Amino acid sequence: MKKFLSNRLHNVKPSGIRKINEKTIVMEREGKKIYHFELGRPDFQTPEVIKDATIKSIQNGDVFYTSNYGILELREAIAEKINKNHDLDYSPDEILITAGASESIFDVYELLLDYGDEILLPNPCWANYINATYIMGAEPKFYTLAEENDFQIDFDELEGLVTEKTKAMVVINPSNPIGSVFKRETLEKLAEFAERKDILIIVDEIYKDIIFDHYKHVSFASLPGMKERTILIDGFSKSYSMTGFRLAYIAAPVDFIKEANKVHQHNTSCATSFVQHAGITALKEADSDVEKMVAEYERRRDYIYDRVNSIDGLSLHKPEGAFYAFINMKELGVSCEEFCEYLLDEKGVAIVPGTVFGSAGEGFVRLSYASSMEDIKKGLDIIEEACKHFKNK
């Protein structure tokens, strides 16, 4: 029989996060208690006003195809929100509604990347950006986000990564998996770099509403001259706890949106109709719900920061956004994979080894604090016990 699988899949890896989650499902079926810190899934229920809007939309008969671009009222609401919060001037024609941010990534990559093209990715990086690059037959080039550099971009390193094949650069701000936020100074340097090197910037801002310590999110497209060079990916999953709704969007210049819509048309046709109506309600009526969730994330973040830094063998650079703690465990003298495997198999605590997100993740583990404070406290007690186990070996 001939070989049927595409060579482009050779470097594509299954999701390391989902691999852990699937293992926890099996363990729970066997009756074991698992403390879940692996998924980037808010533990809050979707706000009632959004759920009610979804039900009402179905009852009203909003169950058919919409425009490929998405419902106009939703695109208008998104543009209004972006413009108001980030001093921008997007029009509805510069917005494309997608079935989740994962679809947005594929649509944008299909739009930009030819076989053999290069794209700059952060290291560590949310793995979808890495694997989608391989699926397109393109080549990832990694720029390091190092703890000793406050997880900011090293522009000396970046200079050496750009070639004539470089098309674009991905920026995740706030970061998944780190929880760090790029300073305005970093973004301004990046704007100068992008213009000088003539590359596009794909900016993932899906955690933009989850910012702590009175930081104000700086949207990269708001910097002078950058809107026409920016492809913005954002969505509803994290801020509004709508992960299962699969609703996101691309914001970019009209010419890019028209071309991206060609891919989108042949991919999903349109995002789910009644979910789009729920998105309108989210933008217009759920701000107070978002504020409450962010306040609770910050309370958890503060506890985790103090608790982790009190554990011998661990340290944590204070997260400034998202809901992830990227914990340094290098002093334990064990690989992050072995540490996470021990925690899950022996203690029932599910966290993610940093290497799932790239080579710069070695020596780190990602703990999602989209989980109850009760579980966080118990989980960290168990993690402290595990640290003693490895320190005493």
User: Within a domain: residue 51?
Assistant: no
SS3 at position 168: strand
Tokens 């989608």, residue? 132
User: Within a domain: residue 50?
Assistant: no
The answer to whether 158 and 193 have CB atoms below 8 angstroms apart is yes
User: Within a domain: residue 54?
Assistant: no
Complete edge-to-edge strand list for the sheet that includes strand 166-172: 95-98, 248-251, 230-235, 200-204, 166-172, 118-123, 139-144
SS3 at position 301: helix
Same domain, 106 and 29: no
Contacts of 226 (CB under 8 A, 6+ apart): 191, 194, 201, 220
Report pLDDT digits (tens) over 359-372. Answer: 999 999 999 999 99
* % of the chain beyond a pLDDT of 70: 99
Q: What pLDDT is attached to residue 322?
A: 97
Same domain, 218 and 294: no
CA geometry: angle 299, 206, 34, nearest 5 deg: 55
Query: Among the three residues 263, 285, 307, which one is the final residue of a domain in this structure?
Result: 285
Report pLDDT digits (tens) over 109-127. Answer: 999 999 999 999 999 999 9
Query: Among the three residues 269, 285, 301, which one is the final residue of a domain in this structure?
Result: 285
Q: What pLDDT is attached to residue 1?
A: 59
pTM of the model: 0.94
Cβ of 75: how many Cβ atoms within 10 Å? Answer: 26
SS3 at position 68: coil
Same domain, 13 and 30: yes
Core vs surface per residue 258-288: b (16+ CB within 10 A) or e:
eebbebbeeebebbbbbbbbbbbbbbeebee
Same domain, 67 and 150: yes
Same domain, 40 and 183: no
| Helix H or strand E segment including 157 | helix 155-159
Q: What pLDDT is attached to residue 17?
A: 83
Question: How far apart, in Å, are the Cα atoms of 87 and each of 28, 186, 226?
Answer: 47, 19, 13
Q: What pLDDT is attached to residue 39?
A: 86
Same domain, 247 and 345: no
User: Within a domain: residue 52?
Assistant: no
Q: What pLDDT is attached to residue 2?
A: 63
> Do the bridges between strand 118-123 and strand 139-144 make them parallel or antiparallel, or are there none, so unpaired?
parallel
Same domain, 248 and 163: yes
Which parts of the chain register pLDDT below 50?
Answer: none
| Helix H or strand E segment including 340 | helix 336-342
Same domain, 25 and 69: no
User: Within a domain: residue 392?
Assistant: no
CATH of the domain at 20: 3.90.1150.10
In a 10 Å sphere around its CB, with 0-12 CB exposed, 13-18 middle and 19+ buried, how is residue 179 labelled? buried
User: Within a domain: residue 99?
Assistant: yes
CA nearest neighbour of 283 among 81, 57, 49, 72: 81
CATH of the domain at 188: 3.40.640.10
Same domain, 277 and 304: no
The answer to whether 270 and 247 have CB atoms below 8 angstroms apart is no
Domain count, the chain: 2
> Do the bridges between strand 166-172 and strand 118-123 make them parallel or antiparallel, or are there none, so unpaired?
parallel
Core vs surface per residue 322-333: b (16+ CB within 10 A) or e:
bbbbbbbbeebe
Question: How far apart, in Å, are the Cα atoms of 332 and each of 14, 118, 336?
Answer: 28, 36, 9
Domain residues for 268?
A: 61-285
Tokens 């208008």, residue? 76
Report pLDDT digits (tens) over 150-166. Answer: 999 999 999 999 999 99
CA–chain centroid gap for 148, Å, is: 22
Query: Among the three residues 239, 266, 285, which one is the final residue of a domain in this structure?
Result: 285
Same domain, 276 and 307: no
**CA gap 104, 170 in Å, rounded:** 13
